[in-house]
Structure 1
Amino acid sequence: MFTSTERIRSDAQSIALYLESLLSNKYQIPTFQRDVVWEKENVKKLWDSIYKFYPLGSILIWKTNTKLESHREIGGLKFADNFHSNEYQYILDGQQRTTSLLTSIYGGKIANNENFNPTLYIDLTIEHTDAIDDTSYTKRFLFWDEIDDKEGQLKANTRKTKRYQDKLIVSLLDIINKYREIEKTFIRVLMENTIILTYNN
């Protein structure tokens, strides 16, 4: 007879490692899970919590030697359909956050919005504020349709396009893969301007 502590235990893991494990088929999402309701605002709020080091809650994983039918695609990203193992790990709670994290970093496709690119970018020039009603995350975290000025046709995005070209707006994947390079670019721009950059749309 197992005690509850033996049956359920917590395991802290970085977001990057968790997603790498998902991409390598360590975790599966069973098909009985409800469909994901993906919204831009909620994805930005999720990353704002990460940015501010707020707890994200737990993701419940069920380990079993039983093979269930599982999703072959998450956020448009394909997973192996002939995966076999001695032990399976199914995500029972946390599919929404998992899909949001995965598509924010690696891109993909959103159901019912196939032409939308869910890759998320961060504007490094947006200052942090401790205000309780802080809404700066809406400007700090951006999707490509909020950056692209379509070669000057969309004037509202012109300055953001320029910051993207100056590498002051970068993708989350770039932060993972090119952190030192991004840090050097940001410091160089600050030194060249000799002022604190502020947001000016």
Structure 2
Amino acid sequence: MFTYADSIKPDGHSITTYLENLLAKRYQIPTFQRDVVWEKENVKKLWDSIYKFYPLGSILIWKTNTKLESHREIGGIKFADDFNSNEYQYILDGQQRTTSLLTSIYGGNIAKNGNFNPTLYIDLTIELTDATDDTSYAKRFLFWDEIDDRNGQLKANISKKKRYEGKLIVSLIDIIKNYVEIERNLHALGYGDFENPYMQQLRRIREALYNYKISFIELRGIEVAEVCQIFERINQAGKPLIPHSAGQLRKKIIFSTRSTKKLENPLPFMG
């Protein structure tokens, strides 16, 4: 029996599980969402919070049998073809974080950022100075343009390029896919002791990737009008999820639903 307690339910998934589900097309991002605002500094701070196991805001998921127009890709990564389902899972709040997490690990491209590579790397040599260290993250988490020395032309990057070539700067995707090999490299370099700070850094980021729980709030059995009201209430003290009022949002959802139905049941050509 479906009850009110079932309509709004908290949940949690690891980063790797969430992104795997996203790539498996188990979530969709409706097109009425606001544009992604992606900034290097904010992405690094996001990962620093995860690295420290600080809590993040919840991702809001609407589970419904209503089909909406959805984005076919996020961060340049194709993840949702047009398909029919008995239940859709729409990401209503959390698109920014989702884009940052997905592109940090799987690469892709960011709109309005040209050929910039959003893949994120971690420098295993950068340690936390203390529990309140709020600056080292900028050197710990790096993008490729902060590592590539362009054959020695960028002097500021020469030492980082050497650490990258020496296997001391590694990508997040490599930690997921090639963790054992990275461990072996550290052993071969003489850093294999369990208490070695480089090994500790490696274990810590791996633990975050697999054990940090992203908080989800799932809405189920809730109609459009109530979804809009939830939007409005959870954002009263903060920045709106999208640059529209609740009334405009409702119109957009209804229009999206109607547009989808038109595509599914096109009228015969009466030329």
TM-score (norm 2): 0.68
The 3-state SS of whatever aligns with 1:9 is strand
The corresponding residue for 2:44 is: 44
Structure 2: distance between partners of 1:188 and 1:125: 16
Q: C-alpha distance in 1, partners of 2:117/2:24?
A: 23
Structure 1 position 3, deviation (Å)? 4.2
On the 8 A contact 2:127/2:197 being kept in 1, the answer is no
Q: Distance in 2 between matches of 1:25 and 1:84?
A: 11
CA contact (8 A) 1:152 1:158 kept: yes
Q: Is the 8 A contact 2:38 2:100 kept in 1?
A: yes
Is 1:32 paired with 2:32?
Answer: yes
Code of the aligned partner of 2:11: D
Higher relative contact order (CA 8 A, sep 6+): 2
Does the 8 A contact of 2:28 with 2:80 survive in 1?
no
Superposed displacement of residue 129, structure 1: 2.5
Contact 1:72 1:79 in 2 (8 A): yes
CA contact (8 A) 1:25 1:83 kept: no
Q: State the partner residue of 2:17.
A: 17
Residues 28 and 70 of structure 1 are in contact (CA less than 8 Å); yes or no, is this contact kept in structure 2? yes
Q: Distance in 1 between matches of 2:19 and 2:57?
A: 16
Rounded to whole Å, the distance in 1 between the matches of 2:197 and 2:54 is 26
How far is the alpha carbon of 1:190 from its aligned partner? Answer: 4.1
How many angstroms does 1:187 deviate by?
A: 3.9
Matches within 5 A, 1:105-144: 105-144=105-144
Structure-1 residue corresponding to 2:77: 77
Residues 43-79 of structure 1: CA deviation (Å, up to 9, x unaligned)? 0000001111111221111100111000111011113
Query: Secondary structure of 2:128's match?
Result: coil
| Counterparts of 2:116 and 2:138, CA distance in 1 | 18
Tell me how far 1:114 sits from its aligned partner: 2.0
Quick one: distance in 1 between partners of 2:39 and 2:191?
37
What is the aligned partner in structure 2 of residue 64 from structure 1? 64
Structure 1: segments with no counterpart, 5+ residues:
none
Give the whole-Å Cα distance in 2 for the aligned partners of 1:100 and 1:6.
30
> C-alpha deviations, 1:77-125, integer Å up to 9, x for none?
1133322211100001111000000000001111111211000000001
Distance 2:4 2:140 in 1: 42
CA distance, structure 1, for counterparts of residue 86 and residue 45 of structure 2 = 37
Q: Distance in 1 between the 2:98 and 2:144 partners?
A: 21
For 1:92 and 1:168, the matched residues in 2 are separated by 38
Kept after mapping to 1: 8 A contact 2:25/2:80? yes
Residue number in structure 2 paired with 1:179: 179
Classify 1:88/1:196 alpha carbon distance in 2 versus 1 (closer, same or farther; 3 Å). closer
Runs of 4+ in 1 over 4 A off after TM superposition: none
CA 1:156–1:65 in 2, change beyond 3 Å: closer, same or farther?
Answer: same
* 1:7-62 Cα shifts (integer Å, max 9, x gaps): 11122211001001111110000011101100000000000011111112211111
- Cα distance in 2 for partners of 1:80, 1:92 equals 16
Give the unaligned 5+ runs of structure 2. 199-271
Preserved contact between residue 149 and residue 155 of structure 1 (Cα < 8 Å)? yes
Q: 1:124 to 1:99 in 2, by over 3 A?
A: same
Q: Residues 191, 38 of structure 1: CA spacing in aligned structure 2 closer, same or farther, 3 A cutoff?
A: closer
SS, match of residue 98 in structure 1: helix
81-90 or 18-27: which moved more? Answer: 81-90
In structure 2, the partner of 1:91 is 91
Identity of aligned residues (%): 76
Does 2:160 match 1:160?
A: yes
Query: Partners in 1 of 2:197 and 2:56 — Cα distance?
Result: 31
Contact 2:71 2:80 in 1 (8 A): no
